[in-house]
Amino acid sequence: MWHIFKFNFNILYIFSHLKLTLSLKLTILHMEFIIIGALFISGIIQLIYWGVIFTRFAWYNPPKQNIPNQSPEPVSVIICAKNEEENLRENLPHILRQEYFDYEVLVVNDGSTDGTAQVLNDFQKEYEHLRILHIPTDASRTMKGKKYALSQGIEASKHELLLLTDADCQPASEHWIEGMQAVIDEKKQIGLGYGPFFTKNRHLNRFARFETVYTAIQYFSAALWGFPYMGVGRNLIYKKSLYVENQGFKNHAHITSGDDDLFMSEVSTKNNTTICLEKSCFMYSKSETRITYYYKIKYRHNTTGKHYRTIHRIFLGGLSMSHFLFYFSFLLSIIFHLSIETAVIIYLMRLIIVLLVYAKTAQKLHEHHLTLWIPIFDFLLLFYFILLTPALLSGNTKSWK
């Protein structure tokens, strides 16, 4: 009797063990299917972005700006400055010495407490085309952040063409104004310029330059495909009448940032927007040397994300989410040894396309030294997206400086 009981018990144990093993294998297969499926789908989405959407900009040949189709117009260069004594002393002469027939440089001193006012007054003695607009610290403000200072500057400007930049920026040549205004005509009312960082032999500088090119790929590509959504405030030109017709920054006056991207999202169309890729028209600035300062700036810039138009949020959200999901699922497949060969093949296919498009774009934007860093920085964007997620959700900051 005992032998029969022992035999039956062993049979039950074997069956239960087989059932548990089978269940475990099914669970692993199910997890493998989900992870590899996520990797495959996100990889396809990434290939659509890099292999279709971004290739248009990568292989775009801008028309040569030889003889303009119309007579050049006077330009108002507007710079908003808040405690920018050193930057103005270093960079403002490069803007005041532009080779252009008729332009004014209007600097809006937004309640600076350092020597900004004195620096500007000294420059004004030497350059008659420099105008200064002082805004006291206790001024009654109708909108947040830089928008108030910029709106005051636009209102005080003399000319129809408005060329915007920042106090910490330096043009690539004395033909910056000439080149930027040349892209504007009767149809094109907005010109999107490029604002790179000066090259430094530091990892943070390399990543900042990489991210700047990455951002440029997105907004230049969007403009070429007919749905422009942003420009960079340090190198942007548009007509004053367009600003007036849109009632300025009225629709987003309560948001600290967004004087460039939110405004462009509202007024730019496929017909009235163009881009300027002439190297002589680049507007350079220094990258932050501390990662905490760099993060603070990027956090502030990304707070406008949730205020974009739906189509723009889908475009940018699809890119960042597919990028995150691609690397996340790839790492899981490697860690848990799930179809490693398939995962590596998908990873390499995407990497080759990204390398080709990014390298071609970096060459166009004169950042070819970044090519070898692309695989590393492309992976680090995974953590970049994670760190900036709170900025996309919060949607605002308290000040622009």
Q: Is the pLDDT of residue 19 over 90?
A: no
Q: Which of 232, 216, 204 is nearest to 377 (CA)?
A: 204
Which candidate, 151, 154, 157, 168, places its Cα nearest to that of 104?
157
The arithmetic mean of pLDDT across residues 145-164, rounded, is 94
The better pLDDT of the pair 208, 140 is held by 208
- Taking the alpha carbons at both ends of the chain, their separation in whole angstroms is 88
pLDDT in tens, 307-332: 788 899 999 999 999 999 999 999 99
Pairing relationship of beta strands 236-239 and 161-166 according to DSSP bridges: antiparallel
Give the pair of three-digit tokens for residue 86. 């050193």
> What is the pLDDT, as a whole number, of residue 20?
44
Phi, psi of 338 (to 5 degrees): -110, 110
Residues 46-97 have pLDDT tens digits of 999 999 999 999 999 877 655 455 678 999 999 999 999 999 999 999 999 9
178-180-185 Cα angle (round to 5): 95
- Give the pTM: 0.88
| Amino acid identity for residue 74 in this structure | P
Task: Please compute the mean of the pLDDT values over residues 228-252 and round it to a whole number.
Answer: 92
CATH number for domain 63-216+226-290, candidates 3.30.56.10, 3.30.428.10, 3.90.550.10, 3.40.50.300: 3.90.550.10
At residue 23's C-alpha, the angle toward residues 20 and 26, to 5°, is 150
Percentage of the chain lying above the pLDDT 90 cut? 64
- Per-residue confidence (pLDDT) for residue 396, from 0 to 100: 56
Which residues, in sequence order, are CB contacts of 224 under 8 Å at separation 6+?
Answer: 56, 57, 60, 275
Q: What is the pLDDT of residues 97-121, one digit of tens each?
A: 999 999 999 999 998 999 999 999 9
| Portion of the chain with pLDDT greater than 70, in percent | 85
Residue 295 burial class via C-beta count within 10 angstroms: exposed 0-12, middle 13-18, buried 19 and up: middle
359, 370 Cβ separation under 8 angstroms: no
| pLDDT at position 363 over 60 | yes
